[in-house]
Structure 1
């Protein structure tokens, strides 16, 4: 068993019946959690600041070209390659994330290693310049939310997963359930906003895999086409609101970029799906 799995596996095996615990552990995916870099830590990317773009690349804007997007984040794929994750990121180069100020439209740009780049000032005041926040990384376990399509593949249905895992009663006297203990386990391991690369995103409404599959026109839960399409999607980046960078989108919203596995393998970032999820 890999190091990043051990704590969660011990927790699940202690709290759940053996069969349910092993099914849940089998669903774990390694995610790269991003946090503000301290002195001496390896910097794997940043929030905010100004983007470094090739000279011949225009600043991303809306389709009409009249309103520029805001630069949100940069990921250094070469540095991220040090960390285990469940998605096939490029081994080198950088990923740049832009979005409109309402975070309803976005563009992701991959700049291969060796391409000359230079810091680019914002074209006008329609593009918000966020405070720069360097990011460090660590691999951590991630597990599916209780409405994730992956649960259907392992438990047969969301209802069966609810019964076997989240609604499993740990204490008959108090009525305490596994779901309550899982929340405590999760909160105890976090420090700062949950920025993340790969793994299961923290969908506040619906998992990015479900949102993207539905947007592709495959229906919803219960439709085999939906289930198959959801399997093709992964989390590329999750950015939570972070006051240190001045990133506040209202109602506690998080931005989650999903991408199909085949598009990621082809280094085609033109068809990512951005989901804005708030409380």
Structure 2
């Protein structure tokens, strides 16, 4: 068993019946959690600041209005390659993430290693320049939320997973259920906003895989085409609101970028899907 899985596997086996625990453990995916880098830590990316764009590349803007987007994040793929994760990121180069201030429009740019780049000033005052926050990385386990399509493949349906896992009763006297203990386990392992590469995203509404599959023209839960399409999508980057960088998108919203596995393999970042999820 991988090191990043051990604590969660022990927790699940203590709290759930053997069959349910093993099925849930089998669904675990490694993600790279990104947190504020401390002195001496390897920097795997950053939030905010000014982007380093390739020479001759225009600042990303809306094609119809010409309104420039704001720079949100940079990932150093070479550093991230040192960490186990469930997505096939480039092994070198950088990924740049831009979005409008309302986070409704976006662009992701891949800059291969060796490309000549230079820090670019914001083109005008319509751009929000966020405070720069260097990020360190660590591999951590992630598990599917209660409405994730992956649960259907393993448990047969979301309702069955609900009964066998999330609503499994731990204490008949108090009515305590597994979901409550899982929340305590999760909160105990977190420090700061949950920025993340890969794994299961922490969507507050629907998983990015479901949102992207539906946007691609499939139906919804129960539609075989939806289930098949959802399995093709992965989390590229999740950025939570972070007051240290001045990133507030309204009512606790998070930005979650998803990408199809085949597009990621082809290094085609033109069809990335951005989901804005808040309360």
TM-score, with structure 2 as normaliser: 1.00
CA deviations 1:6-47 (Å, max 9, x no partner) are 000000000000000000000000000000000000000000
Which residue is 2:125 aligned to? 125
Q: CA deviation at 1:65?
A: 5.0
Are residue 106 (structure 1) and residue 122 (structure 2) matched?
Answer: no
Matches of 2:149 and 2:194, distance apart in 1: 22
Matches of 2:5 and 2:54, distance apart in 1: 40
Q: CA deviation at 1:130?
A: 0.2
Give the length in aligned residue pairs. 279
Q: CA deviation at 1:142?
A: 0.2
Matches of 1:152 and 1:56, distance apart in 2: 47
TM-score, with structure 1 as normaliser: 1.00
- Secondary structure of the corresponding residue to residue 202 of structure 2: coil
Q: Structure 2, unaligned stretches of length 5 or more?
A: none
Runs of 4+ in 1 over 4 A off after TM superposition: none
CA deviations 1:110-133 (Å, max 9, x no partner) are 000000100000000111000000
Which residue is 1:154 aligned to? 154
Which residue is 1:8 aligned to? 8
CA deviations 1:223-254 (Å, max 9, x no partner) are 00000000000000000000000000111000
RMSD across aligned positions (CA)? 0.4
Matches of 1:144 and 1:227, distance apart in 2: 15
CA deviations 1:118-163 (Å, max 9, x no partner) are 0000000111000000000000000000000000000000000000
